[in-house]
Amino acid sequence: MAWQWFHRLGSPRWFFDKTSPWVFWLGLVSLSMLLFGAVWGLMIAPSDFKQGNSYRIIFIHVPGAIVSMAGYYVMAICGAIGLIWRMKLSFMVMKSVAPIGAVLTFVGLVTGAIWGKPTWGTWWEWDARITSMLVLFFLYLGIIALQEAYRQQDAADKTCAILALVGMVNIPIIYKSVDWWYTLHQPATLKLTEASSISPSMAYPLIFMIVAFYFVFAWVVLLFTRLEVLKREKKTRWVQELVAARV
């Protein structure tokens, strides 16, 4: 039964039909959480005794960076599923994640630079964490570029899937860079196995914003994937009937 459901999930039409009711409510929840978290972190949370209010960019920088790395995992897993089980939908999700992940990584790099200026005295430093995040940004751009470089969609999907899988080696480097090398970048603020180095009054809105970013990410990926389904399945009867019904 589980295997049957797994293959059914790979059907573009089944996915499009089943996710139609999700779009509005997931978007409403995501944007509401994002707004609430932004107000909580940027306006209500106390200022830091060392950095003052400049630290507040953490409520954008950290969620953006975390979800950008998680997005790469999603992209690589979808690429692997597409290569192994030849599911068209997984390739569509992979393609949809790439521009969203690139934007999140860019947000992480820019907000990090803004935060670094008052903290380190420089906009940019060839720090291990920052450099590996820049590599992540270029990997996302590489996937986007490859999708446009091939005339045959099947060849583009397979090539992008291979690049996504190879690029996975960069993710643990990002995570462990502050432990493996001397770096200006501070260690993880939130920790699962030991006490966090941040006050609960700041940690709670930060955790909330991370969850909100995940929800927004899922919502936008859903929208992009549904659009990709319509684009790739435009010659099928069910899409033509859907378009005709809405004209």
- The domains of the chain are located at 25-46+55-246
What is the structure's pLDDT at 191?
62
Regarding predicted confidence, which is higher, 208 or 186?
208
The residue behind tokens 């949809």 is 96
The residue behind tokens 């030991």 is 194
Query: What confidence category does residue 2 fall into, taking pLDDT thresholds of 50, 70 and 90?
Result: low
Beta bridge partners of 52: 48
CA dihedral sign, ordered 106, 112, 116, 118: positive
**b vs e for 152-185, b when ≥16 Cβ sit within 10 Å of the residue's Cβ?**
eeeebbbbbbebbeebbebbebbeebbeeeebeb
Could you read off the pLDDT of 100-149 as tens digits, one per residue?
Answer: 999 999 999 999 999 888 888 888 888 889 999 999 999 999 999 999 99
CA–CA dist 111, 115 (Å, integer): 6
> Span 199-228, mean pLDDT?
96
- Provide the CA 54 distance to its chain's centre, in angstroms: 25
CA distances from 3 to 7, 8, 83, 242 (A): 6, 9, 17, 29
**Count of residues making up the chain:** 247
CA–CA dist 64, 51 (Å, integer): 20
The residue behind tokens 């006050």 is 199
Q: SS3 for 52?
A: strand
Residue % of the chain over a pLDDT of 70: 90
Beta bridge partners of 48: 52
- Provide the CA 26 distance to its chain's centre, in angstroms: 16
Global pTM reads: 0.93
Quote the crossing angle between the two packed helices 22-39 and 200-232, to the nearest 10°: 150
Regarding predicted confidence, which is higher, 70 or 53?
70
> Span 8-13, mean pLDDT?
80
CA–CA dist 198, 220 (Å, integer): 30
Query: What confidence category does residue 196 fall into, taking pLDDT thresholds of 50, 70 and 90?
Result: low
Residue % of the chain over a pLDDT of 90: 73
Q: SS3 for 47?
A: coil
The residue behind tokens 């860019």 is 106
Q: Minimal CA–CA distance to 168: which of 62, 90, 71, 85? A: 71
Burial of residue 140 (number of CB atoms within 10 Å: 0-12, 13-18, 19+): buried
> Span 202-226, mean pLDDT?
97
Regarding predicted confidence, which is higher, 238 or 9?
238
What is the structure's pLDDT at 246?
82
CA–CA dist 138, 105 (Å, integer): 10
CA–CA dist 149, 159 (Å, integer): 11
Q: Minimal CA–CA distance to 186: which of 47, 60, 62? A: 62
Query: What confidence category does residue 224 fall into, taking pLDDT thresholds of 50, 70 and 90?
Result: very high
